[in-house]
Amino acid sequence: MNEKTKFASPFRTGKKQLIDEANLVESQIILSEIFGSLGGIAAILNKNRQVIYANDVFINELGFSSLAEVIGRRPGEAIACLHATEEQGGCGTSEACSVCGAVNAIIESQKLNKKVTRETQITSVLGGIKKSWDLKITSAPIKIADENFYVFTVEDISGEKRRESLERIFFHDILNIAGGLNGLIQVLKEETDPEEVKDLINITEEASRNLIEEITLQRQIRAAENGDLQVTIETINSLDFLRTAIIKIKYHESAKDRNIVISDGSSDKEFSSDRILLLRVIINLLKNALEAINEGGTVMVGCRSEDKKITFYVHNESVIPKETQLQLFQRSFSTKGKGRGIGTYSIRLLVENYLKGKVSFISNEAQGTIFSVEIRKDF
Protein backbone atom coordinates (compact mmCIF):
# COMPACT_ATOMS: atom_id res chain seq x y z
CA MET A 1 0.00 0.00 0.00
CA ASN A 2 1.31 3.44 -0.87
CA GLU A 3 2.44 5.32 2.25
CA LYS A 4 0.29 8.29 1.28
CA THR A 5 -2.98 6.37 1.43
CA LYS A 6 -4.88 4.11 3.77
CA PHE A 7 -7.43 3.10 1.15
CA ALA A 8 -7.80 4.37 -2.43
CA SER A 9 -5.09 5.52 -4.82
CA PRO A 10 -3.67 8.94 -3.92
CA PHE A 11 -2.35 9.67 -7.42
CA ARG A 12 -3.65 12.72 -9.26
CA THR A 13 -3.64 13.78 -12.87
CA GLY A 14 -1.10 16.47 -13.79
CA LYS A 15 -2.35 20.01 -14.37
CA LYS A 16 -1.79 20.02 -18.16
CA GLN A 17 -3.56 16.69 -18.69
CA LEU A 18 -6.35 17.79 -16.35
CA ILE A 19 -6.96 20.88 -18.49
CA ASP A 20 -6.90 18.78 -21.67
CA GLU A 21 -9.47 16.39 -20.19
CA ALA A 22 -11.68 19.28 -19.07
CA ASN A 23 -11.51 20.86 -22.54
CA LEU A 24 -12.30 17.52 -24.18
CA VAL A 25 -15.46 17.04 -22.14
CA GLU A 26 -16.56 20.66 -22.49
CA SER A 27 -16.24 20.38 -26.27
CA GLN A 28 -18.94 17.73 -26.32
CA ILE A 29 -21.91 20.03 -26.92
CA ILE A 30 -24.58 17.34 -26.52
CA LEU A 31 -23.07 16.20 -23.24
CA SER A 32 -22.93 19.78 -21.98
CA GLU A 33 -26.59 20.29 -22.86
CA ILE A 34 -27.62 17.06 -21.11
CA PHE A 35 -25.69 17.97 -17.98
CA GLY A 36 -27.14 21.46 -18.02
CA SER A 37 -30.67 20.05 -17.97
CA LEU A 38 -30.08 17.81 -14.96
CA GLY A 39 -31.80 18.96 -11.78
CA GLY A 40 -29.39 17.30 -9.37
CA ILE A 41 -25.70 17.44 -8.57
CA ALA A 42 -23.67 15.87 -11.38
CA ALA A 43 -20.05 15.79 -12.47
CA ILE A 44 -17.66 13.88 -14.70
CA LEU A 45 -14.61 12.33 -13.06
CA ASN A 46 -11.38 11.06 -14.56
CA LYS A 47 -9.59 7.83 -13.65
CA ASN A 48 -8.07 9.48 -10.57
CA ARG A 49 -11.51 10.44 -9.23
CA GLN A 50 -11.00 14.14 -10.01
CA VAL A 51 -13.73 16.42 -11.31
CA ILE A 52 -13.14 17.57 -14.88
CA TYR A 53 -16.67 18.79 -15.54
CA ALA A 54 -19.67 19.69 -13.38
CA ASN A 55 -23.15 21.04 -13.92
CA ASP A 56 -24.39 24.35 -12.55
CA VAL A 57 -26.21 22.62 -9.67
CA PHE A 58 -22.93 21.05 -8.51
CA ILE A 59 -21.15 24.40 -8.69
CA ASN A 60 -23.89 26.44 -7.02
CA GLU A 61 -25.02 23.97 -4.36
CA LEU A 62 -21.47 23.43 -3.12
CA GLY A 63 -20.68 27.13 -2.97
CA PHE A 64 -18.32 27.59 -5.91
CA SER A 65 -18.37 30.58 -8.23
CA SER A 66 -17.21 28.82 -11.40
CA LEU A 67 -16.31 25.48 -12.96
CA ALA A 68 -12.63 26.44 -12.83
CA GLU A 69 -12.75 26.32 -9.01
CA VAL A 70 -14.03 22.74 -9.08
CA ILE A 71 -11.76 21.14 -11.69
CA GLY A 72 -9.17 18.85 -10.15
CA ARG A 73 -10.98 18.35 -6.86
CA ARG A 74 -12.29 15.00 -5.75
CA PRO A 75 -15.94 14.74 -4.62
CA GLY A 76 -15.14 14.71 -0.89
CA GLU A 77 -12.94 17.77 -1.31
CA ALA A 78 -15.69 19.60 -3.17
CA ILE A 79 -18.25 18.89 -0.44
CA ALA A 80 -15.71 19.67 2.34
CA CYS A 81 -15.89 16.17 3.82
CA LEU A 82 -14.48 15.91 7.31
CA HIS A 83 -12.08 13.15 6.22
CA ALA A 84 -10.88 14.70 2.95
CA THR A 85 -8.01 16.53 4.68
CA GLU A 86 -6.92 13.79 7.09
CA GLU A 87 -4.30 12.37 4.75
CA GLN A 88 -1.90 14.01 2.32
CA GLY A 89 -3.53 12.14 -0.56
CA GLY A 90 -6.90 13.83 0.07
CA CYS A 91 -10.37 12.40 -0.59
CA GLY A 92 -10.40 8.61 -0.64
CA THR A 93 -7.12 8.06 1.17
CA SER A 94 -8.05 8.11 4.87
CA GLU A 95 -8.98 5.05 6.89
CA ALA A 96 -12.57 6.29 7.17
CA CYS A 97 -12.80 6.38 3.35
CA SER A 98 -12.81 2.57 3.32
CA VAL A 99 -16.46 2.64 4.45
CA CYS A 100 -17.50 5.63 2.31
CA GLY A 101 -20.18 4.75 -0.24
CA ALA A 102 -19.06 7.51 -2.61
CA VAL A 103 -15.46 6.34 -2.97
CA ASN A 104 -16.50 2.70 -3.13
CA ALA A 105 -19.10 3.40 -5.81
CA ILE A 106 -16.45 5.06 -8.00
CA ILE A 107 -13.87 2.32 -7.49
CA GLU A 108 -16.38 -0.46 -8.12
CA SER A 109 -17.65 1.32 -11.22
CA GLN A 110 -14.08 1.52 -12.53
CA LYS A 111 -13.32 -2.13 -11.80
CA LEU A 112 -16.56 -3.56 -13.20
CA ASN A 113 -17.01 -0.98 -15.96
CA LYS A 114 -20.68 -0.57 -15.11
CA LYS A 115 -23.04 1.72 -13.22
CA VAL A 116 -22.86 1.38 -9.45
CA THR A 117 -25.13 3.03 -6.86
CA ARG A 118 -24.34 3.26 -3.16
CA GLU A 119 -25.72 5.15 -0.18
CA THR A 120 -23.33 7.05 2.04
CA GLN A 121 -23.21 9.41 4.99
CA ILE A 122 -20.87 12.38 4.76
CA THR A 123 -20.09 15.02 7.35
CA SER A 124 -19.02 18.38 5.93
CA VAL A 125 -17.25 21.16 7.78
CA LEU A 126 -18.61 24.46 6.49
CA GLY A 127 -17.68 27.68 8.26
CA GLY A 128 -16.51 25.67 11.27
CA ILE A 129 -19.92 24.00 11.61
CA LYS A 130 -20.40 20.29 10.96
CA LYS A 131 -23.28 19.27 8.73
CA SER A 132 -24.30 15.69 7.99
CA TRP A 133 -25.60 14.47 4.66
CA ASP A 134 -27.30 11.23 3.66
CA LEU A 135 -26.58 10.75 -0.04
CA LYS A 136 -27.27 8.31 -2.84
CA ILE A 137 -24.24 8.17 -5.10
CA THR A 138 -24.13 6.80 -8.65
CA SER A 139 -20.99 6.32 -10.73
CA ALA A 140 -21.33 5.19 -14.35
CA PRO A 141 -18.59 4.76 -16.98
CA ILE A 142 -18.68 6.85 -20.13
CA LYS A 143 -16.30 6.87 -23.08
CA ILE A 144 -15.36 10.18 -24.70
CA ALA A 145 -12.97 10.18 -27.66
CA ASP A 146 -11.85 6.67 -26.66
CA GLU A 147 -10.98 7.80 -23.12
CA ASN A 148 -12.65 6.46 -19.99
CA PHE A 149 -14.48 8.85 -17.67
CA TYR A 150 -17.21 8.46 -15.05
CA VAL A 151 -20.52 10.23 -14.65
CA PHE A 152 -20.91 10.97 -10.95
CA THR A 153 -24.35 11.96 -9.62
CA VAL A 154 -25.51 12.81 -6.12
CA GLU A 155 -29.02 12.61 -4.71
CA ASP A 156 -29.66 14.08 -1.27
CA ILE A 157 -31.80 11.54 0.61
CA SER A 158 -31.41 13.19 4.03
CA GLY A 159 -35.14 13.86 4.26
CA GLU A 160 -35.98 10.24 3.49
CA LYS A 161 -33.49 8.98 6.08
CA ARG A 162 -34.78 11.45 8.64
CA ARG A 163 -38.33 10.17 8.11
CA GLU A 164 -37.12 6.58 8.51
CA SER A 165 -35.44 7.55 11.76
CA LEU A 166 -38.53 9.27 13.10
CA GLU A 167 -40.66 6.29 12.14
CA ARG A 168 -38.27 4.03 14.03
CA ILE A 169 -38.40 6.31 17.06
CA PHE A 170 -42.16 6.62 17.18
CA PHE A 171 -43.07 3.11 16.02
CA HIS A 172 -40.40 1.28 18.02
CA ASP A 173 -38.92 3.18 20.95
CA ILE A 174 -41.87 5.34 21.94
CA LEU A 175 -44.37 2.56 21.25
CA ASN A 176 -42.35 0.26 23.52
CA ILE A 177 -42.29 2.85 26.30
CA ALA A 178 -46.03 3.48 25.89
CA GLY A 179 -46.71 -0.27 25.90
CA GLY A 180 -44.72 -0.72 29.09
CA LEU A 181 -46.54 2.21 30.66
CA ASN A 182 -49.90 0.68 29.76
CA GLY A 183 -48.81 -2.63 31.30
CA LEU A 184 -47.83 -0.89 34.53
CA ILE A 185 -51.23 0.81 34.69
CA GLN A 186 -53.00 -2.55 34.27
CA VAL A 187 -50.97 -4.07 37.11
CA LEU A 188 -51.58 -1.01 39.25
CA LYS A 189 -55.36 -1.37 38.79
CA GLU A 190 -55.26 -4.89 40.19
CA GLU A 191 -52.77 -4.34 43.04
CA THR A 192 -54.21 -4.00 46.55
CA ASP A 193 -51.08 -3.88 48.73
CA PRO A 194 -50.45 -0.18 49.62
CA GLU A 195 -46.67 -0.51 49.51
CA GLU A 196 -46.73 -2.27 46.14
CA VAL A 197 -49.10 0.39 44.84
CA LYS A 198 -46.68 3.11 45.94
CA ASP A 199 -43.77 1.42 44.19
CA LEU A 200 -45.81 0.90 41.03
CA ILE A 201 -46.84 4.56 41.00
CA ASN A 202 -43.17 5.61 41.21
CA ILE A 203 -42.19 3.29 38.37
CA THR A 204 -45.16 4.44 36.28
CA GLU A 205 -44.24 8.07 36.87
CA GLU A 206 -40.67 7.38 35.71
CA ALA A 207 -41.93 5.57 32.58
CA SER A 208 -44.20 8.48 31.66
CA ARG A 209 -41.30 10.88 32.23
CA ASN A 210 -39.12 8.80 29.89
CA LEU A 211 -41.84 8.98 27.25
CA ILE A 212 -42.02 12.77 27.46
CA GLU A 213 -38.23 13.12 27.44
CA GLU A 214 -37.86 10.91 24.35
CA ILE A 215 -40.32 13.08 22.43
CA THR A 216 -38.65 16.26 23.70
CA LEU A 217 -35.23 14.96 22.67
CA GLN A 218 -36.37 14.41 19.09
CA ARG A 219 -37.76 17.95 18.95
CA GLN A 220 -34.43 19.29 20.21
CA ILE A 221 -32.42 17.32 17.66
CA ARG A 222 -34.62 18.60 14.87
CA ALA A 223 -34.19 22.17 16.13
CA ALA A 224 -30.43 21.62 16.39
CA GLU A 225 -30.23 20.43 12.77
CA ASN A 226 -32.15 23.51 11.65
CA GLY A 227 -29.97 25.84 13.72
CA ASP A 228 -32.92 26.86 15.89
CA LEU A 229 -31.98 25.27 19.21
CA GLN A 230 -31.80 27.71 22.12
CA VAL A 231 -29.03 27.24 24.69
CA THR A 232 -29.67 28.10 28.35
CA ILE A 233 -26.53 28.54 30.44
CA GLU A 234 -26.43 27.92 34.19
CA THR A 235 -23.91 26.99 36.89
CA ILE A 236 -23.55 23.23 37.38
CA ASN A 237 -21.71 21.14 39.96
CA SER A 238 -19.93 18.25 38.23
CA LEU A 239 -20.56 15.52 40.83
CA ASP A 240 -24.19 16.51 41.40
CA PHE A 241 -24.60 16.42 37.63
CA LEU A 242 -23.24 12.86 37.40
CA ARG A 243 -25.49 11.67 40.23
CA THR A 244 -28.50 13.15 38.44
CA ALA A 245 -27.58 11.37 35.21
CA ILE A 246 -27.33 8.02 37.00
CA ILE A 247 -30.69 8.49 38.74
CA LYS A 248 -32.35 9.28 35.41
CA ILE A 249 -30.93 6.24 33.59
CA LYS A 250 -31.22 3.60 36.31
CA TYR A 251 -34.89 2.81 35.56
CA HIS A 252 -34.25 2.49 31.82
CA GLU A 253 -34.52 -0.98 30.31
CA SER A 254 -30.84 -0.90 29.32
CA ALA A 255 -29.81 -0.53 32.99
CA LYS A 256 -31.59 -3.70 34.16
CA ASP A 257 -29.17 -5.99 36.08
CA ARG A 258 -26.26 -3.69 35.27
CA ASN A 259 -24.26 -1.31 37.43
CA ILE A 260 -23.22 2.33 37.04
CA VAL A 261 -20.49 3.75 39.27
CA ILE A 262 -18.85 7.16 39.51
CA SER A 263 -15.09 6.94 39.01
CA ASP A 264 -12.96 7.51 42.12
CA GLY A 265 -11.24 10.86 42.01
CA SER A 266 -13.84 12.50 39.80
CA SER A 267 -13.63 16.28 40.01
CA ASP A 268 -16.04 18.17 42.23
CA LYS A 269 -16.10 21.46 40.32
CA GLU A 270 -18.55 24.10 39.17
CA PHE A 271 -18.80 25.02 35.51
CA SER A 272 -21.21 26.77 33.14
CA SER A 273 -23.19 25.03 30.41
CA ASP A 274 -26.69 24.04 29.30
CA ARG A 275 -27.67 21.47 31.92
CA ILE A 276 -30.48 19.85 29.93
CA LEU A 277 -28.52 19.41 26.70
CA LEU A 278 -25.41 18.11 28.47
CA LEU A 279 -27.56 15.74 30.53
CA ARG A 280 -29.09 14.33 27.35
CA VAL A 281 -25.59 13.75 25.98
CA ILE A 282 -24.30 11.90 29.04
CA ILE A 283 -27.47 9.84 29.44
CA ASN A 284 -27.23 8.83 25.78
CA LEU A 285 -23.62 7.75 26.30
CA LEU A 286 -24.59 5.81 29.42
CA LYS A 287 -27.43 4.10 27.56
CA ASN A 288 -25.09 3.04 24.74
CA ALA A 289 -22.51 1.74 27.23
CA LEU A 290 -25.11 -0.23 29.19
CA GLU A 291 -26.43 -1.84 26.03
CA ALA A 292 -22.89 -2.90 25.11
CA ILE A 293 -22.25 -4.96 28.26
CA ASN A 294 -23.67 -8.19 29.63
CA GLU A 295 -25.91 -8.53 32.69
CA GLY A 296 -23.91 -8.00 35.87
CA GLY A 297 -21.47 -5.74 34.05
CA THR A 298 -20.44 -2.26 35.13
CA VAL A 299 -20.30 1.10 33.38
CA MET A 300 -18.05 3.77 34.87
CA VAL A 301 -18.77 7.47 34.50
CA GLY A 302 -16.57 10.28 35.70
CA CYS A 303 -15.16 13.76 35.11
CA ARG A 304 -11.82 15.52 35.33
CA SER A 305 -11.07 19.22 35.50
CA GLU A 306 -8.15 20.85 33.70
CA ASP A 307 -7.51 24.60 33.55
CA LYS A 308 -10.36 26.06 31.48
CA LYS A 309 -12.06 22.82 30.49
CA ILE A 310 -13.90 19.92 32.09
CA THR A 311 -14.18 16.46 30.56
CA PHE A 312 -16.89 13.89 31.22
CA TYR A 313 -16.24 10.28 30.26
CA VAL A 314 -18.16 7.00 30.10
CA HIS A 315 -16.28 3.69 30.13
CA ASN A 316 -17.24 0.07 29.55
CA GLU A 317 -15.18 -3.08 28.93
CA SER A 318 -16.55 -3.91 25.46
CA VAL A 319 -14.69 -3.15 22.22
CA ILE A 320 -16.34 -1.57 19.17
CA PRO A 321 -15.49 -3.31 15.86
CA LYS A 322 -13.14 -1.24 13.68
CA GLU A 323 -15.58 -0.84 10.80
CA THR A 324 -18.20 0.45 13.23
CA GLN A 325 -15.72 2.91 14.75
CA LEU A 326 -15.18 4.49 11.34
CA GLN A 327 -18.91 5.26 10.96
CA LEU A 328 -20.01 6.01 14.52
CA PHE A 329 -20.90 9.70 14.22
CA GLN A 330 -22.73 9.49 10.88
CA ARG A 331 -26.38 10.44 11.10
CA SER A 332 -28.05 7.34 9.65
CA PHE A 333 -25.53 4.77 10.80
CA SER A 334 -26.45 2.52 13.71
CA THR A 335 -24.97 -0.57 15.30
CA LYS A 336 -28.55 -1.72 15.87
CA GLY A 337 -29.48 -2.23 12.23
CA LYS A 338 -31.07 -0.29 9.39
CA GLY A 339 -33.02 2.77 10.45
CA ARG A 340 -32.17 2.21 14.11
CA GLY A 341 -30.83 5.27 15.74
CA ILE A 342 -29.11 8.63 15.71
CA GLY A 343 -27.44 8.37 19.13
CA THR A 344 -23.79 9.22 18.51
CA TYR A 345 -24.74 11.61 15.71
CA SER A 346 -26.99 13.60 18.06
CA ILE A 347 -24.27 13.61 20.73
CA ARG A 348 -21.76 15.25 18.42
CA LEU A 349 -24.38 17.60 16.98
CA LEU A 350 -25.29 18.94 20.43
CA VAL A 351 -21.78 19.03 21.88
CA GLU A 352 -19.84 20.49 18.96
CA ASN A 353 -22.46 22.80 17.45
CA TYR A 354 -24.13 24.04 20.65
CA LEU A 355 -22.08 23.32 23.77
CA LYS A 356 -18.77 24.59 22.31
CA GLY A 357 -17.09 21.28 23.04
CA LYS A 358 -15.84 18.17 21.33
CA VAL A 359 -16.55 14.44 21.49
CA SER A 360 -13.94 11.72 21.14
CA PHE A 361 -13.56 8.03 21.88
CA ILE A 362 -11.06 5.21 22.12
CA SER A 363 -11.92 1.54 21.82
CA ASN A 364 -9.42 -1.29 22.06
CA GLU A 365 -8.76 -4.56 23.89
CA ALA A 366 -6.49 -2.94 26.47
CA GLN A 367 -8.80 -0.11 27.54
CA GLY A 368 -12.28 -1.13 26.48
CA THR A 369 -14.41 1.76 25.17
CA ILE A 370 -14.24 5.29 26.55
CA PHE A 371 -16.32 8.18 25.19
CA SER A 372 -15.22 11.64 26.30
CA VAL A 373 -17.06 14.97 26.17
CA GLU A 374 -14.83 17.99 26.67
CA ILE A 375 -16.39 21.42 27.22
CA ARG A 376 -15.25 24.82 28.46
CA LYS A 377 -15.92 25.62 32.09
CA ASP A 378 -17.00 29.19 31.37
CA PHE A 379 -18.88 28.55 28.10
Q: Are 79 and 85 in contact (CB under 8 A)?
A: no
Total number of residues shown for the chain: 379
Mean pLDDT of 205-214: 77
Q: Tell me how far CA of residue 155 lies from CA of 57, 119, 340, in angstroms.
A: 12, 9, 22
3-state secondary structure of 138: strand
Q: What is the helix, strand, coil percentage profile of the chain, to 5?
A: 45, 25, 30
DSSP structure class, residue 94: S
Q: Looking at residue 224, what is its pLDDT? A: 82
What domains lie within the chain, and their CATH numbers? Answer: 15-156 (3.30.450.20), 158-229 (1.10.287), 231-379 (3.30.565.10)
Instruction: Identify which of 58, 54, 48 has the alpha carbon closest to the alpha carbon of residue 156.
Output: 58
- What are the beta bridge partners of residue 370? 315, 362
Q: Say how far apart CA 130 and CA 133 lie, in whole Å.
A: 10
Higher pLDDT, 175 or 242: 242
Q: Is residue 180 scored above 80 in pLDDT?
A: no
What percentage of the chain exceeds 90 in pLDDT? 59
Higher pLDDT, 172 or 302: 302
Q: Looking at residue 137, what is its pLDDT? A: 97
Mean pLDDT of all residues belonging to the chain? 88
41-75 pLDDT tens trace: 999 999 999 999 999 999 998 989 999 999 999 99
Could you tell me the pLDDT band of residue 1, with boundaries at 50, 70 and 90? very low
Q: Say how far apart CA 353 and CA 230 lie, in whole Å.
A: 12
Q: Say how far apart CA 156 and CA 58 lie, in whole Å.
A: 12
pTM for the predicted model, two decimal places: 0.73
Q: Looking at residue 185, what is its pLDDT? A: 86
Q: Is residue 31 scored above 90 in pLDDT?
A: no
